Amino acid sequence: GHLTTLRAGVADVRSGRAPRASDHMRLASVSKAYSGAVALNLVRAGKLGLDDTIAQRLAGLPPAWGAVTIRQLLDHTSGLPDYTKSKGFAEQVKSDPRGLVSPPTIVGWVRSDPLEFAPGSRYEYSNTDNIVIGLIVEAVTGEPYGQELKKVVFGPARLRQTSFPTKV
């Protein structure tokens, strides 16, 4: 019943204003934890299994990715190439750094790249893991990923000033 607000940095770099609890938050890196929460909620509901593979849950991704499990995506032992190291991502950052890019486009940046390592053999953080989890959530629920975020995370946590940008 007690709310504690912690903050660091500034909300506005020009004025130096500190962030407020009522400020609007557009999801970025924090969405990774939310992706995990949504996926684990589906596991708890019996709609998804941690040992389910990409091939079982999502059509159209590279065959080399097919044996990667939900568990490996969530714990970053998948071996999927990290799209933030791709030429496509670098070009996006140069041309339109604030622009929204669709998940299929993001996957396209690394679609033809080989796995970095055999799935499950080691840990290496990959932003692509989180994109694929979001696509799997959509495939399993039939709902847009943003809707699942609202239902599972934003609503229960009362994150009224948090959004997931979806206009692509």
Q: At what angle do helices 127-141 and 31-44 cross, to 10 degrees?
A: 40
Give the C-alpha separation, 109 to 112, whole Å.
8
- How open is the CA angle 92-96-102, to the nearest 5 degrees? 60
What are the DSSP calls for 7-42, one per residue?
--S-S-TTT-PPP-TTS-EE-STTHHHHHHHHHHHH
Give the C-alpha separation, 136 to 128, whole Å.
12
Amino acid identity for residue 64 in this structure:
A
Q: For tokens 């709902």, what's the residue?
A: 143
Question: Which of the following is catalytic: 29, 31, 112, 121?
Answer: 29
Reduced to 3 states (helix: H, G, I; strand: E, B; else coil), residue 104 is helix
Indicate if 95 belongs to the active site: no
List beta partners, residue 26.
Answer: 163
Catalytic sites, residue numbers: 29
